Amino acid sequence: MENLMPPAGYVAASVILFLIGFIGFFANLTVIVLMCRDNQLWTPLNYILFNLIMSDFSVSLLGNPFTLASSMYRRWIFGHTMCVAYGFFMALLGITSISTLTALALERYLIISRPLNRRVLTRKSAVHVVIGVWAYSITLTAPPLVGWGEYGPEAANISCSISWEDRSTVSTSYIIFLFIFGFFVPLFVICYSYINIIFTMRENMAVKGRVTKAESRVAGMVFIMIFAFFIAWTPYAILALMIAFMKTDISPAIATIPAIFAKTSICYNPIIYVGLNSQFKKSWKILLGCQHCSNPSAEAAALSHRHTCLSYYGNSVEQTQHFKTTRLTLLEVKAFPAETAI
């Protein structure tokens, strides 16, 4: 099989894929370790976040090595069956990620915009959400395994995915189905949820207590996660649409860029969790042995407060001792009165 990119392109792809896999593996593994060590992190919302982490971790552990090895050999080296399995698995994890983010956005919408009718998210309901996400994702990605659509090589033959260039009626109908329910519907739900969240938070600016700082902070974190995901995947989605419906001839080297860039999505979420979630941040400091680390200015203020308290306590002790001594002297005077003059 001839090379579809210059040798330098394969070298660059190999280096970038290695970095993505390395960062994604250890960043997601760190969050998994934090959650396994700290039971307080297992809140209902974090059950759903953990599903996203496991999806990203699976890509770095079970997906990236195949693409990296193929990039180093300048072709897919694992055969057709593994190509189909890899394409299905990566598509499944990708749809799982966007479906999980959609569920998070919808949950934030119900919490903030519908406070009177909201149902508290429990661990049981969070597990049901996760099961629903996986069932939905399998429904969208399994059809090519039974003949509706096809998985095949892409990105200069170093990866496998949906065969976007297959313009048969069967494949085209599946691509339309996948884009509607795997991209546009989640995008609509996310946009609808956050537009309502923004309007609700603006309306409640003057009504304190309606939206807590914690709820606002979590909503902001989820929004950043969603934004990062779409930044990573939108170029790939646009390219796939162009190949499938515009009959555009795009060089393999150009097609490889958005395909690899989409894989960077596995690196963002762990950084966002630890950076913006106070629970994860605290657990991260404990893992590093910095649970006693604090802001120098805060520590100085604490020391100053401690010194003031000690000084006050010392003065109080001195005053108490002086009072006791004075009282004792008066008692002695009463006990032994002076003799009367003769």
Residue ranges of the chain whose pLDDT lies below 70: 1-2, 115-120, 205-212, 290-342
- Bridge-partner residues for 159, per DSSP? 154
Q: Whole-angstrom Cα distance, residue 81 to residue 89?
A: 12
Which residues neighbour 102 within 8 Å (Cβ) at sequence distance 6 or greater?
186, 189, 190
Distance CA 31, CA 29 (A): 5
Whole-angstrom CA distances from 48 to 28, 218, 231 are 15, 13, 21
Total residues found in the chain within this entry: 342
C-alpha–C-alpha distance, residues 190 and 186, integer Å: 6
What's CA 205's distance to the chain center, in Å? 27
Q: Which two tokens stand for residue 211?
A: 């939206």
Helix axes 123-141, 44-58, angle to 10 degrees: 30
Q: How many C-beta atoms surround the C-beta of residue 180 within 10 A?
A: 11
Alpha-carbon distance of 340 to 239, in angstroms, equals 117
φ, ψ at 154 (rounded to 5°): -150, 175
Helix, strand, coil % over all residues of the chain, rounded to 5: 75, 0, 20
Tracing tokens 């010194």 back to the chain, one arrives at: 307
Q: Where are the beta strands (DSSP E) in 98-209?
A: 151-154, 159-162
Residue 312: per-residue pLDDT? 43
Q: CA angle at residue 184 from 152 to 123, to 5 degrees?
A: 95
Alpha carbon 27 to chain centroid, angstroms:
11
Cβ-contact 92, 187 below 8 angstroms = no
Which residues lie closer than 8 Å to 136 by C-beta, 6 or more apart?
95, 99
Residue 279 pLDDT: 80
As a whole number of angstroms, the distance between CA 123 and CA 156 comes to 44
Structural contact between residues 45 and 126, judged by C-beta atoms closer than 8 angstroms: yes
Check residue 121 and give its pLDDT: 80
Look at residue 152 and give its three-state secondary structure: strand
Q: What is the DSSP string of 209-253?
A: TSS-HHHHHHHHHHHHHHHHHHHHHHHHHHHHHHHHHS-----HH
